[in-house]
Amino acid sequence: MLTIALPKGRIAQDTLEIFERVFEKKFIFDDRKLILESGDFKFLLVRNQDVATYVYHQAADIGVVGLDTLEEQGLDVIRLLDLKQGYCKVSIGMRAGEKLDFSKPELKVATKMVNITRSYFASKAVSADIIKLYGSIELAPLVGLADMIVDVVQTGATMKQNGLEVVEDILESTTHLIANKNSYFFKKSEILDLYEKINGAI
């Protein structure tokens, strides 16, 4: 039996479709249920930001999560496979027309991804004042809370609607299949079997 943590929403749907293709059966969660058991699999529906936590603590053997979230959390899990879905970028956004100027003292950067932001600015040897927000990041430069934001960009519509534009890309992200290290050791054949099947299906 393999337990697989999926993030609620579109990624869960896309991932279940891959499983349905591979195993030629339907995997459908009953209304509001968070666990689905079917054959050799138990699927868990969790928040996107919680997938790697379930896997890291071995409450799930396998998980599906965006590379952006993985990089931000830095938990020690095995990255098995790039599912090549859920494409997005983590980018720096500024008010339209403004230029990124690393020589400015104390750049103020608003983001929910503080670790990615910190290592990016450190890699440029730039000191930045990182302001942690939990959402509506695009608002920060509009009201003087920050000079720029680091945020997830999918279609670019949210930035555009708020008069911001991307000035630099930091990371390209797609969903990844991850595994717990112990599970990978003790359930290696099951996990590799699943890996092969999914790899063949994408």
Least separation in angstroms between residue 150's CB and ligand PRP is 10
Closer to ligand PRP by CB, 58 or 136: give it: 136
The distance from CA 11 to its chain's CA centroid, rounded to whole angstroms, is 10
Residues found near ligand PRP in the complex (CB under 6 A): 135, 137, 151-158
- What's the CA gap between 91 and 77, in Å, rounded? 25
Least separation in angstroms between residue 164's CB and ligand PRP is 10
Least separation in angstroms between residue 25's CB and ligand PRP is 30
Least separation in angstroms between residue 83's CB and ligand PRP is 17
Closer to ligand PRP by CB, 83 or 152: give it: 152
Closer to ligand PRP by CB, 67 or 80: give it: 67
Phi and psi dihedrals of 184, rounded to 5? -65, -35
- What's the CA gap between 128 and 118, in Å, rounded? 8
Least separation in angstroms between residue 200's CB and ligand PRP is 30
How open is the CA angle 83-85-90, to the nearest 5 degrees? 110
Closer to ligand PRP by CB, 128 or 159: give it: 159
Asked if 144 and 131 count as a contact pair (C-beta separation under 8 A), the reply is: no
Q: How many other C-beta atoms lie within 10 A of the C-beta of residue 102?
A: 11
Closer to ligand PRP by CB, 100 or 156: give it: 156
Phi-psi region of 36 (alpha: psi -120 to 50; beta: other; left: phi over 0): beta
